Chains A and B, each alone.
Chain A
Amino acid sequence: MAHMYGGAILFIRLDEGRIFKEPTSSYSGAFLGGRGINIKLLYDGSTPETDPLDPSSLLIFGVGPLCGTPISASRTEVSARSPETGFLGSSNFGGHFGPEIKSAGYDHIVVSGKADGPVYILIHNEQVEIRDASRIWGKDSYETQSLIRAEIDSEVQIACIGQAGENLVHFATIQHDLGHGAGRTGMGAVMGSKNLKAIVVRGTKAITLAHPEKYLSIAEERHKQLSDNPCVQDVQKHGMAYMLEGFGEIRVGPDGLVEANQYDLTKKYRPKKTGCAGCLQQCMDLYPVEAKGGGGAISCTFYTQPFTLVGNNDLDLALECGLLAQRYGIDIVSSMGIISWLMRLYECGIITAEDTDGIPMEWGARQAIIGMLQKIVFREDFGDTLAAGILPAAKKIGRGSKDYAYQVKGLPLYSPTTPDALIPTKGRSLCIAVSPRGDAMRTMMEGREARRAQDPPLLVARQNEKFAAEYMKTLQQTIKDVTGTEKAYLAEEYEGKPELVVYSEDEIIIFDCLSSCKLVGAPFLNIPSQVEYLARLFSAGTGTETTHDMLFTIAKRVRNLERVFNVKEGMTRDRDALPRGFMDHPLEKGDSAGSVLKSAEFEKMKDQYYALRGWDIATGIPTRETLEQTGLGDIAGDLEQSGKLPGNLHPGK
């Protein structure tokens, strides 16, 4: 068996109750780890343009080769067709689930079919069972896990859905432990559509390493570097809320409505720290059961969305909302995004309380936030309309409501990507528009562009002037190396941004393939040559000498296959777009008043991005030549058969 791998891909057909395995090695040569092999499995096993909630759809969990080692690599990638966007759905979560899958001897779990009634899957090394879940159906994610642990054993790791997933809310999540979740693109709904309440794993097997001592010494080098990093230290000491506090843009709600400071929540309850396996940062806060919402763990998005998106200043309300969302298993970004959109419509008089079951959608109002959240989860009256996602809901409401929806490809935008924060950052705008799933959250663009020349973008201990200066120097140099443009690190510049987006996407694909966390690493911490480091670890662990360039080659293959997957689902150039209202409208107020995102410049960035990717400029579809060059020659044939392969144009060369 290959070093660093669990060794097998586990296939489970819930309709037939059939369970079988294939060796991971048949995939791990060309594709890599979590996100890489996931897209290959998904592409091969999907029929385009069928309902994502159809029983034939695949739901795939995957972990990468570095998962389960002491380098902040514990992430489990979940992939399926997204019921929220209709395109590729993918989201990953940390915690202790990924390492457990590997210890059980697996790298991927592929679930298809629909069980006759509620079931859960129990995996204990080779032993795999499909079990009755009728007793836990209807329970929230926290309670579900408690009940399963009581039934099986407290050492198991569990990924499960809450009521939102059961009710097929199109932006339901898959939750794990406290606070961990595959949040975006509705993976929980896909799980619910299979009548699958949970996957329960216990693994006791060893993962071998080619050069264990060498691996450990490379890992320790970085461990020390990170331990001395002021950003890491701040999160360790004060939590994520403190890090976000210094970031003005996050605190500005709609029309500056939000004055609340999320760090006050940490000060009030003094939560314990928690986080993922093998990570030194432990970026999550464990709130006590006496706290509002009954306690539980939260981190970054929970410190932002229930404040800024919905104009809320009430700390306890935000905490309660975040913890409820986890229990129900619903995406905090999409749910708050949709509620935020209703609030905008209400403010502009496009809808009234009559449209929303008598609830006035006022900024910050408890009933509008928690009341509407519950209506969505249980598909109660108007909640049923919203549960289909923001675009279907806009279609139903009509009255031009779509123009007020902050979404890309049907995925509500997260804060801080509301217009005031997004319009001034040109690279991030492009990144979100072209991204496979409709956001740039995991491409970490927040850390790659500076709004002001001397101000580091995000998560930087700004009171530490020396560190901030070093950070800016590294950022400028890194981005210059990547783009060849001196000023590309500045948010308002258009030049160099297509290069920056291509690089960022590829870099993050490598992280996602290897199960590595982006927060501890990538661009937030003033630590350059992250990929070189991962390549060294990968080489020492697997015994296969692998370079930075080789990892980027695989990343490009993954990116192209993800694009072709989306093309087959109907992706076109015009879907790589931001909401119309974001374009050509100068910001009227705020720190970046006067800033404008010009559509002509934006389209030019897109042209360049496609050219760099080797995609046809008119359609955004990968050309035959590009597919062949990235090792996807067979896929070109597929595209040709479906009549979507662009003519033999090859722009940009």
Chain B
Amino acid sequence: MAEYELIINYQKCTGCRICEQVCAIRNSLVANPEKARIRIVSLKEQANIVSIPVRCLQCEEPICETVCPTHAIATDPATGARVVNGKKCIGCRTCVYTCPFGAATFDRSAGTVFMCNLCEGDPLCARWCPFGVLEYIRSDESSIRLKKDAAIKLSDSISLSLEQVGYKEV
């Protein structure tokens, strides 16, 4: 288990894509969402937009690592992130097709695959995310942290329903 974890508060995402922009500049040195390790997919229907961050979820049993025929993918012991060895990667894209989360990306210009390396322990997406959608926090705090967010959200509707049944604070 890595000491830190990159958590996602899906409901808070506004679709600003600042994470894509900073990720591409830091990790590929260009401005191009295609080169970002994280993507925001905005599902749009008429008057509604739902934006969902798609990124490596740092599986405990990574399929990408298992299926890689050249063992080009390894886990960085410091961060727990999957790291692709560009010299070993043959660009077969097996990891791209098998990742259940669409998180591995084939880089057409390099002919190899890239995936989130957690910026070597200081993920820029979390540092920049304006709405706390992405947070890099201690792994042992992540569970209660997500529950807290859910509780705050619930508290609104609970107090509302208490009001509706005539409850008054004394």
Identify the A interface with B (CB < 8 A). 68-70, 96, 99, 103, 142-143, 145-146, 149, 154, 177-178, 204-209, 212-213, 215-216, 220, 223, 227, 236, 272-282, 286-289, 294-297, 323
Chain B residues with CB under 8 Å of A281's CB are: 130
**Which of B26, B34, B44 counts the most A-chain CB atoms under 10 A from its CB?**
B44
Per-position 1/0 for B10-37, Cβ under 8 A of A: 0000111110011011101111111100
Q: By the criterion CB–CB under 8 Å, are B33 and A103 in contact? A: yes
Instruction: Tell me if B131 counts as interface (CB < 8 A to partner A).
Output: yes
Q: For the complex formed, measure the closest distance between the CB of A488 and the CB atoms of chain B, giving whole angstroms.
A: 34
Instruction: Tell me if B47 counts as interface (CB < 8 A to partner A).
Output: yes
Instruction: Tell me if B63 counts as interface (CB < 8 A to partner A).
Output: no
Q: Number of residues in B with C-beta < 8 Å to the partner? A: 30
Q: By the criterion CB–CB under 8 Å, are A69 and B32 in contact? A: no
Complex Cα distance A288/B45, Å?
12
Q: By the criterion CB–CB under 8 Å, are B49 and A70 in contact? A: no
Instruction: State the majority secondary structure of interface residues on B.
Output: mixed
Assuming A206-B32, A277-B17, is B25 touching A282 (CB within 8 A)? no
Instruction: Tell me if B46 counts as interface (CB < 8 A to partner A).
Output: yes
| Residue from the list B17, B28, B44 in contact with A278, Cβ < 8 A | B17
Enumerate B27-76 residues with CB–CB distance to A below 8 Å: 28-35, 42-49
Chain B residues with CB under 8 Å of A297's CB are: 49
Assuming A70-B22, A142-B46, A143-B46, is B16 touching A209 (CB within 8 A)? no
Complex Cα distance A355/B121, Å?
70
Chain A residue with the shortest CB-CB distance to B47:
A295
Chain B residues with CB under 8 Å of A212's CB are: 25-26, 29-30
Instruction: Tell me if B128 counts as interface (CB < 8 A to partner A).
Output: yes
Complex Cα distance A462/B142, Å?
36
Q: How many A-B residue pairs have CB under 8 A?
A: 111
3 residue pairs, one from A and one from B, having the closest CB atoms: A280-B130, A206-B32, A295-B47
Chain B residues with CB under 8 Å of A208's CB are: 30-31
Chain B residues with CB under 8 Å of A223's CB are: 128
Q: By the criterion CB–CB under 8 Å, are B131 and A209 in contact? A: no
Q: By the criterion CB–CB under 8 Å, are A236 and B131 in contact? A: yes
Assuming A227-B130, A279-B18, A282-B14, is B31 touching A206 (CB within 8 A)? yes
Q: By the criterion CB–CB under 8 Å, are A274 and B21 in contact? A: no
Q: By the criterion CB–CB under 8 Å, are A69 and B25 in contact? A: yes
Q: By the criterion CB–CB under 8 Å, are B47 and A282 in contact? A: no
Please, could you name 23 A-B residue pairs with CB atoms under 8 Å apart, sorted by A?
Answer: A68-B31, A70-B18, A103-B32, A143-B46, A146-B46, A178-B47, A207-B30, A209-B29, A212-B29, A213-B26, A216-B22, A227-B130, A236-B130, A273-B14, A277-B16, A280-B18, A281-B130, A282-B131, A286-B49, A294-B46, A294-B47, A295-B47, A297-B49
Complex Cα distance A143/B44, Å?
11
Instruction: Knowing that A142-B46, A277-B17, A278-B16 touch, tell me 4 more A-B residue pairs with CB under 8 angstroms.
Output: A68-B31, A96-B17, A207-B31, A294-B46
Complex Cα distance A96/B15, Å?
10
Chain B residues with CB under 8 Å of A177's CB are: 44, 49
Chain A residues with CB under 8 Å of B43's CB are: 154
Complex Cα distance A208/B33, Å?
12
Complex Cα distance A143/B16, Å?
22
Q: By the criterion CB–CB under 8 Å, are A276 and B34 in contact? A: no
Complex Cα distance A295/B46, Å?
9
Q: For the complex formed, measure the closest distance between the CB of B60 and the CB atoms of chain A, giving whole angstroms.
A: 31
